[in-house]
Amino acid sequence: MIATPMHDGTFSEDVTRAMGAAFELACKSLPHPCHDAVREIIAKHILEAAAFGERDPAKLSEKALRTISVEEMSMPVVGIGHLPPTLTYV
């Protein structure tokens, strides 16, 4: 089953506040300084989760942080040495 967003892209004031709280919670849990690209990814995933109906700031934050962890763990690593480089994922 394919999941689709529940609304038209606009959020109520209450949902906007929940997303702001989730963003602050997520950013506080990251090492400082936090790169702008990471903050942007967090915001994007909070928006996506809210679009699918999540309203709890703690759950929005958790979902965004979980995606950051997955993205960091699937970054390609190229071996360096006397052999040709081999692309692997960690």
Where do runs of H (alpha helix) occur along the chain?
Answer: 13-28, 36-51, 57-73
Cα(30)–Cα(84) distance, rounded to whole angstroms? 36
Tens digit of pLDDT for each residue in 8-63?
A: 668 999 999 999 999 999 999 988 777 888 899 999 999 999 999 999 999 999 99
pTM over 0.95: no
Cα(46)–Cα(59) distance, rounded to whole angstroms? 9
Q: What are the residue ranges spanned by the domains of the chain?
A: 13-89
**pLDDT reported for residue 75:** 47
**pLDDT reported for residue 30:** 87
